[in-house]
Amino acid sequence: MTNFWSKLSIKQKLAITAWFFLAVPLVFYVTIRFYPTFEAFYVSTLKWNLLGVKKAIGLKNYVKIFADEDFWLVLWNTTKYALVGVPISMIIAFVIAYWLNEIKFGHNLIRAMYFIPFLTTAVAMAWVWRWFYQPLPIGYFNILLSWIGIPQQPFLKSVTQGLYSIMAPAVWAGLGFQIVIFIAGIRAIPRSYFEAAEIDGAGRWQILREITLPAMKPTIIFLTVISTIGFLRIFDQVYTMTADSAGGPLNSTKPLVLMIYEFAFDEFKIGRASALTVILFLILLMVSLMQLWLMRKHK
Amino acid sequence: MNDFNATMARLERAQPGKVILWTLLFIGGVIMITPIIFMVSTSFKTGQEVYELSIIPQKPTLENYIFILQESKFMRWMLNSLWVATFSTASVLFFDSLVGYTLAKFDFRGRQIVFVAILSTLMIPTEMLIIPWYMMSRSFGWIDTYWGIAFPGLMTGFGTFLMRQFFMNLPDELIEAARIDGWSEFAIWSRIAMPLVIPALSALAIFHFLGNWTAFLWPLIVINDLDLYTIPVGIASFNGEFQMDWEVVMTASCLATLPTLLVFLVLQKFIIRGIMLAGLKG
Amino acid sequence: MKWLKSAFTLVVSGTSLLWSGLVHAVEIEYWQYTYASRVEAVDKLIQNFEAANPDITVKHTHFPYADYRKKVAIAVSAGDGPDVVQLYYGWLNDYRDGGLIQPLSSSAFPHANIEKDFFPMVGTMKVNGEYWGLPTAVRSLALFWNKDMFSEAGLSGPPETLDEFVDYAKKLTKTDANGNYLSVGFAVDTDGQDHHWWREVLIRLYGGAPYSDDGKTVTYTSEAGAQALKFLTDFETTHKVGSNGFMNRGQDAFAAGKAGMVLDGSFRISKFVKQEGLNFAISELPGHNGKRYNFSSYWVNGITSKAADEKKEAAEKFLQYLTSDEAMQLWLDTVGELPAKPAVALVDANKDHPLYGPFIRGLSYANATAFVSEKPQRQSLIDAYDMVVLQGVDPASALAKVAKSEQEVFNEFFE
């Protein structure tokens, strides 16, 4: 044995060590994660109401989904959540994290203030936000608007504003998470980088662009991918804030995961829900891989 | 207050820009917690005052807290959640960082595939996993056990990805040097690499603890016994088919948020402090 | 004292354990959703039942309502779960289709007796010549009205007809100088009970029917359906006496004293009674052209297919007790849901009860919708309403559109 081990090249030794480290986790992932995922792939070809017999129907579930005009609306809604939600939340989070990192007085207090929304339960917060969105004279947002002379807005009761009115609390709740990761990322940059730059007499903007941002690339990649997945999987806020948890008015705020949920547990069409899950899975995988690949290229 | 003013004055003399910055960030923070202030204030309101959207309750009452703490097994549920979340967080800190480190710092064939496969676990909604998990728990006898609640979250794609990204920041030279010094791979990970990513570990601990603390669907499905409920399942049991008393929901949320807030306040120091101390030691 | 009580309990439970061991007890399991008064009622019922049947023990388990349905479906489909289960009547089709519940044997539950004793809407439980479940209690809708707001508006009693209803709603509405609602005359709430009102009451009042008699075809695309929808949307668009979602939910607006009238079920009474300073009364739903209709729904108790032999016998006995007159009265007194048999419900004490009376009187002219899938069917009205109010579509075309998707739900179910 020792003999065999000593014959291996360093590279081979490292590879074996790596697989050794991965062994237990891989067993876990295969049984607890991958297997149920494959199960979903399989069930997507069945007609099954969870309670009765399973009937193989080939790709019929997919055909039905693609023929359903609601699906395309829901897909577009989901895209909007991500396309608007990700950049807005990341930019706000970065600006706050960057400046928060500069201050020392009351730093912990202020950071906690930004993080607390992340700790709260969606259902309780949804209630508060729904009150904020009420019309005059009750709703605070409309009161604020009336102070600056803007006419009252319907917010949740509108097919055009509803989606953004739900996105706002989603951004709000996730901001603390992004800020904490950004700060951890900033703090992970070795001090020496900055010292060197300061000696060279670089300005703040230059340091940000040439040192901070490039050094934070792994953090930025991580947050982009995770936030995109998060917004594409948005559910809680829509479920708790829309009437009858239906993603209304008129499906204008309904995301894919809510549609999956409705198929699975309101109508017990497990096959259709699985097919939709597979579609969501493929979209997420494609988007994530593309992001990872694009950001890697700019190295 | 005087002390505060003196501090601010000193600051202002030094850097007026910082004071403006501080004020802006503070105002932003106040905006962030406004909805939460409403939650807290509602929890001290009586049933009829709930509909007055005043911030300060006119007739503050502890009734809701007394109701929850007396009428339910809230403390018991809290302990259940605490135990499950702590256990699962410990597991995640160990395994996710081990896997994340392996994926970041070892070069071997199949690395990318393993990474993408683990990452792909983030792309399936939990709703679609509970049925197979239930069948699994049933055949292994995990229903109505702590282990049953915890097992799906013992390792996560999220944590692995987070740790991988932070380990990628570490200079390779450090690890090479340790190898030359004859350190074992496990020791390099646990004694050199890990201390350098304490901020990320703290962040992961907070996120995972919280995620477990608020997990609802799976604990509901796997638990039948009232004594084993976790906090979110317990909170849901206050609501009937058509009945939802908001002051009770708000009170329960306040109570449920407290422990996570404590965890955050304890751990947040490490997010900032960790790296510099470790950097010196390393 | 406490120790004495627990010592006593210990002795009693010890003895009963011993006892049950001796007589070979059968244990059956009963599931329902968690709600304090329902849990209390079932505990009492089990106590009574066990006293009368010492050879049977009933284990009572309950889960949060939020996901009760999911929980039951997953457990039962895996072969776990209860012997007797409480289900919403609208879910029955799924369970029957899946072979998860068994028909009630006609020896233990003779059909003639069911048809003689229960309210007619329980007939929805008869499919393919068999009964699949029976309720302890039923529900109906009634009009809640705010007495103080009524007298302030110079109104002395509740509206009796739809025309009066609109008229009263107008008088009850208060707005500020800019036309914003300070309080609404009628709290429209499509998220609440209004879709039932539209489907089973309004359409029928206008002379139509929501579905064909065999329950396989959508028929609300008629003139009557459109009139009924217009009646509902007019509150918001024409009369301006209320706004869907005002104060989030109709019940909240009413509880806050900011709605003159709201439609709701008897389960809401306890919430409004608790509300200090809310002075309200309840009356039957307004009629039209001398006719009245109501909507009824209920939870049924079914026997799961896993119960066999002696467990099945025990389950039947328990179900017989759950649907006995005694159990129904206990349920009304504890939970506040209405007895499912006219003989129990329509006694004078119940019929003239100031709170339950209007609901109980409503039962005699109520229909229960035979849902094939409640959620998407409920969504039809919510969507039709939004199309009319938010997008200005005319009621008939809005209905034509939602009817198409609802019909697909039927077709898929019956294919």
Per residue in C257-301, pLDDT tens? 999 999 999 888 888 988 888 999 999 999 999 999 999 999 999
Higher-scoring residue by pLDDT: B63, B99: B99
Q: B185 contacts in A (CB within 8 Å)?
A: 14, 17, 21
Which one of C379, C411, C412 makes the best mutation probe of the A interface by having the most chain A beta carbons within 10 Å?
C379
Give the nearest partner residue to C64 out of B46, B233, B242, using CB atoms: B233
Task: Please report which confidence band the pLDDT of residue B4 belongs to, taking 50, 70 and 90 as the band edges.
Answer: low
Kindly report, as residue ranges, where domains of CATH 3.40.190.10 are found in chain C: 25-138+297-359, 141-295+372-414
What superfamily does domain B71-281 belong to in CATH?
Answer: MetI-like (1.10.3720.10)
- Structure tokens, B115: 């990474």
Task: Please report which confidence band the pLDDT of residue C372 belongs to, taking 50, 70 and 90 as the band edges.
Answer: confident
Whether the upstream peptide bond of residue C103 has omega within 30° of 0, thus cis, is: no
Size of the A and C interface in Cβ pairs below 8 Å: 83
State the pLDDT at residue C99.
Answer: 83
Q: What percent of chain B has pLDDT over 90?
A: 47
- DSSP H helical segments within C258-391, as ranges? 269-274, 309-322, 325-334, 342-345, 348-351, 357-363, 374-391
State the pLDDT at residue B276.
Answer: 43
Cβ of A134 within 8 Å of Cβ of C247? The answer is yes
Size of the A and B interface in Cβ pairs below 8 Å: 244
Cβ of B35 within 8 Å of Cβ of A221? The answer is no
The pLDDT tens digits of the residues spanning A74-94 come to 999 999 999 999 999 999 999
Contact call for residues C359 and C337 (beta carbons, < 8 A): no
Give the nearest partner residue to B127 out of A25, A131, A264, using CB atoms: A264
Alpha-carbon distance A57 to nearest alpha carbon in chain C (angstroms): 14
| Residue B167 CA: distances (Å) to CA of B163, B174, B271 | 6, 12, 15
Tell me: pLDDT of B225 over 90.
Answer: no
What's the pTM? 0.90
- Can you give the residue ranges of every domain in chain A? 1-43, 59-297
Architecture field, domain A59-297: Orthogonal Bundle (1.10)
> What Rg value do the Cα atoms of chain C yield, rounded?
23
CA distance C138 to B276: 67
Cβ of A136 within 8 Å of Cβ of C180? The answer is yes
Alpha-carbon distance C17 to nearest alpha carbon in chain A (angstroms): 36
State the pLDDT at residue C93.
Answer: 82
- Can you give the residue ranges of every domain in chain B? 2-61, 71-281
Determine contact: B144 vs chain C, CB below 8 A.
no
The three-state DSSP-derived secondary structure of chain B is: CHHHHHHHHHHHHHCHHHHHHHHHHHHHHHHHHHHHHHHHHHHCCCCCHHHCCCCCCCCCCCHHHHHHHHHCCHHHHHHHHHHHHHHHHHHHHHHHHHHHHHHHHCCCCCHHHHHHHHHHHHHCCHHHCHHHHHHHHHHHCCCCCHHHHHHHHCCCHHHHHHHHHHHHCCCHHHHHHHHHCCCCHHHHHHHHHHHHCHHHHHHHHHHHHHHHHHCCHHHHHHCCCHHHCCHHHHHHCCCCCCCCCHHHHHHHHHHHHHHHHHHHHHHHHHHHHHHHHHHHHC
At the top level of CATH, the class of C141-295+372-414 is: alpha beta
Specify the CATH number of the domain C25-138+297-359: 3.40.190.10
Task: Please report which confidence band the pLDDT of residue A297 belongs to, taking 50, 70 and 90 as the band edges.
Answer: low
Number of Cβ atoms within 10 Å of the Cβ of A168: 17
Q: How many residues does chain B have?
A: 282
Cβ of C35 within 8 Å of Cβ of B242? The answer is no
